[in-house]
Amino acid sequence: MDIATHILIFIRKFNTISDDKTSNPYTIFVYCSCWLDCLHGKGAKKIERKRRNKRAIDMAFTYDYPRMLVTVDALVFLKEASKNYKILLIERKNNPYKGHFALPGGFVDMDETLKDAATRELQEETGLQGVELHQLYAFDAIDRDPRGRNLCVAFYGITSPENSKVTANDDAEKAQWFDINNLPRLAFDHSEIVQHAIKKLGF
C-alpha cells in the first residue's frame, strides 16, 4: 500500500471521532498511534482495536467502585461419524496457566457484544469460523481467576468434520481436538464449564 493510501485511511479514521478532536490528548495519542501503524503496514484489526479503546477513554461518566472483569469462552464440539463428540481446546501461550489447555476465549472489547467477542476469540486463537455460537451460562466463582474478579460468559457451538481444521494463533500455542471423555487438566474452572455443557447438551 502506498503512502497516499495510508494518508487517506488515516484521515478517514480520524474523521470518525467527535468534532472535539483537539481538546482530548488521549484522542490525539490514539490516532497518531493508528497513523504509525498504517506507516508500518500493520493490519486494520489492530487499528480498529485502538479506536475502540479510544471510545472507552472518552467515556464521560464512570463509577468510583471496583468493577469485575468480563471474559467469554467458546466450547465448540465436533460431532464425529461414530456419534462421539470432541471439544476444541487451546494450549495457553501466556500466564496465568501457561502451558495448560483451556477453552478458546478472552476479554470483551468495549464496543462488541458477548457473542461477537466469543466468535472473534475463537477465530483468533484457533482459526475456526462458521460456527454458530449460543450462550450457555455465566460462571462467577469469586476466585475463579488469579488475575482478579472475573465473570465468564460461556458459549457453545457444534461443528462437523468438514469444518474442523484448526490453526493455533494469537494467545494459543496449540489448538487441538480432544475426546470429551479423555480431557487433559484444564486451566481456571474450565473443567467445570465443560462438564456443565456436556450435561446440559446431553452428550
* Closest by Cα among 48, 49, 147 to 95: 147
Residue 63 located in a structural domain:
no
Of 12, 36, 57, the residue at which a domain comes to its end is 57
With respect to residue 188, please indicate whether it lies within any of the assigned structural domains: yes
Q: Find out whether the peptide bond into 96 is cis, omega within 30 degrees of 0.
A: yes
Model pLDDT for residues 144-155, shown as the tens digit of each residue: 999 999 999 999
**Statement to judge: residues 73 and 46 lie in one domain:** no
List the chain residues with pLDDT less than 50: 17-23, 25-30, 39, 42
- Both 93 and 189 in one domain: the answer is yes
Q: What is residue 66's predicted lDDT score, i.e. its pLDDT?
A: 86
* Residue 7 maps to a domain: yes
From the list 131, 122, 121, 126, the residue with the least C-alpha distance to 166 is 126
List, in order, residues 6 or more apart from 27 with CB less than 8 Å away.
17, 21, 54, 57, 58
Do residues 25 and 95 share a domain? no
Q: Mark whether 151 and 131 lie in a shared domain.
A: yes
pLDDT value of position 54: 54
86 with 182, same domain: the answer is: yes
Q: Are residues 167 and 114 in the same domain?
A: yes
Q: Is the pTM of this model over 0.75?
A: no
The confidence score (pLDDT) of residue 90 equals 98
Q: Are residues 94 and 129 in the same domain?
A: yes
At residue 17, the pLDDT reads 46
Residue 83 maps to a domain: yes
Q: Which residue has the cell 462458521?
A: 130
Would 28 be classed as within a structural domain? yes
- 125 shares a domain with 49: no
Tell me, yes or no, whether 64 lies in a domain: no
Number of separate domains in the chain: 2
Residue 62 lies in a domain: no
Under 8 Å CB-to-CB from 136, ≥6 apart: which residues?
75, 154, 155, 156, 193, 196, 197, 200
Q: Are residues 53 and 76 in the same domain?
A: no
Q: What is the pLDDT of residue 184?
A: 97
> Which pLDDT score is estimated for 58?
56
Residue 74: give its domain's CATH number: 3.90.79.10
Verify that 172 and 122 share a domain, yes or no. yes
Give me the domain span that covers residue 30.
3-57
Of residues 73, 94, 12, the one with CA closest to residue 48: 12
Do residue 118 and residue 37 come from a single domain?
A: no
At residue 106, what is the residue type? G
